[in-house]
Amino acid sequence: MTQTYRITLLPGDGIGPEIMAVAVDVLKAVGRQFDLSFEFQEALIGGAAIDATNSPLPEETLTTCRNSDAVLLAAIGGYKWDTLPRSQRPETGLLGLRAGLGLFANLRPATILPQLIDASSLKREVVEGVDIMVVRELTGGIYFGQPRGVFTMESGEKRGVNTMAYTDSEIDRIGRVAFETARKRQGKLCSVDKANVLEVSQLWRDRMTALAEQYPDVELSHLYVDNAAMQLLRWPKQFDTIVTGNLFGDILSDAAAMLTGSIGMLPSASLGESGPGVFEPVHGSAPDIAGQDKANPLAQVLSAAMMLRYALDQPAAATRIEKAVERVLDQGDRTGDIMSEGKNLLGCRAMGDSLLTALEALAQG
């Protein structure tokens, strides 16, 4: 019997609509191959939502997302909206979506594909075989802590304030996701904090250490965030799974992504306790190349694969998509961001067509 899934599409801004179109074509194609049917509902977020409704996250979008099985998001933001007050910025829409759906766990894999080793800015021997999963806490920490704001003091001087705060239970729930994730991988978990300076980090470290007793099969280590940044560049293969707070995770996941050559290759999953997850590329909306058919759609396509695996429990269809990505790379197809000598430079749409051909060939066996 055909399985039907309700998927909310949030194409957003910049290159978002172009890469989303490719991912939708790919989903439809694997759907035909695996007898899955998708009911796609498009909704507004970010700058596109600001232009249409004055809000970066209209209530209707949240409702549509809540009523779906999973959410596929492209990217938000652009120069045009950068000067608006914070409540009307595209980023506020994304943060509202994460908070509104309770997506506290953000899984960001950084896996180097053998075909792209030469696209990395680091030496082959440093990056070959890198396979890291960053588990980033996504609805707490300094992104959401109170008090926050810019306040005028008695002297008339202004003071900007944000608060990095974590409770026991917030640390424990992201810790459990991280230990479970590490258990399914190589069984190594590195918790990253700044416990030499920050009280909130000391609590983080204490809770992670306590939690480790429940996961005797996982080897837990701790690093300060500055050292972790250095170690990621020095010898990334020492890492298997990393767990960290919202801000450190934002920074380290970009660094980890770049090890793989291009941030244009990496998907992510944001998951809550229950309800639909959001699947999105790690990269942004790249307004500088928007509308020029130059974007790399592969992170978006791989996000759709992650959605099939984590949200819809369709691992075979997910693997099919991942195989198609490998196949087009094996053929030498490249978008500009991962281009190297002797390869075929393709635009976003042509890369999509090549994926569809690869999917067809894989189905034939």
Q: How far apart are CA 20 and CA 177, in angstroms?
A: 28
User: Distance between alpha carbon 245 and the CA centroid of its chain, in Å?
Assistant: 15
91 binds ligand IPM (CB under 6 A): yes
Beta bridge partners of 241: 133, 189
333 binds Mg ion (CB under 5 A): no
Which residue number, 110 or 328, has a Cβ lying nearer to ligand IPM? 110
User: Distance between alpha carbon 148 and the CA centroid of its chain, in Å?
Assistant: 26
What is the smallest separation between the CB atom of 178 and Mg ion, expressed in angstroms? Answer: 19
What is the smallest separation between the CB atom of 108 and Mg ion, expressed in angstroms? Answer: 9
What is the smallest separation between the CB atom of 98 and ligand IPM, expressed in angstroms? Answer: 8
Count of Cβ atoms closer than 10 Å to residue 292 Cβ: 13
Using CA of residue 136, residue 138, residue 144, residue 145, what is the dihedral sign?
negative
Each residue 225-264 as x (binds Mg ion by CB under 5 A) or -, in order, gives -------------------------x--------------
Q: How far apart are CA 150 and CA 231, in angstroms?
A: 35
Element (H, E) at 108: strand 105-111
137 binds Mg ion (CB under 5 A): no
Helix, strand or coil for residue 181?
helix
Nearest alpha carbon to residue 111 among 127, 129, 131: 131
94 binds ligand IPM (CB under 6 A): yes
Tell me if residue 254 is catalytic: yes
Which residue number, 97 or 359, has a Cβ lying nearer to ligand IPM? 97
Each residue 249-278 as x (binds ligand IPM by CB under 6 A) or -, in order, gives -x----------------------------
Which residue number, 250 or 322, has a Cβ lying nearer to ligand IPM? 250
Q: How far apart are CA 258 and CA 265, in angstroms?
A: 10
Tell me if residue 217 is catalytic: no
Q: Which residue is nearest to Mg ion (CB)?
A: 250
> Do the Cβ atoms of 293 and 18 come closer than 8 Å?
yes
What is the smallest separation between the CB atom of 250 and Mg ion, expressed in angstroms? Answer: 4
Tell me if residue 28 is catalytic: no
φ and ψ of 122, to 5 deg: -100, 165
Which residue number, 75 or 318, has a Cβ lying nearer to Mg ion? 75
Tell me if residue 143 is catalytic: yes
* Site residues for Mg ion per CB under 5 A: 250
Interface ranges with ligand IPM (CB under 6 A): 91, 94-95, 250
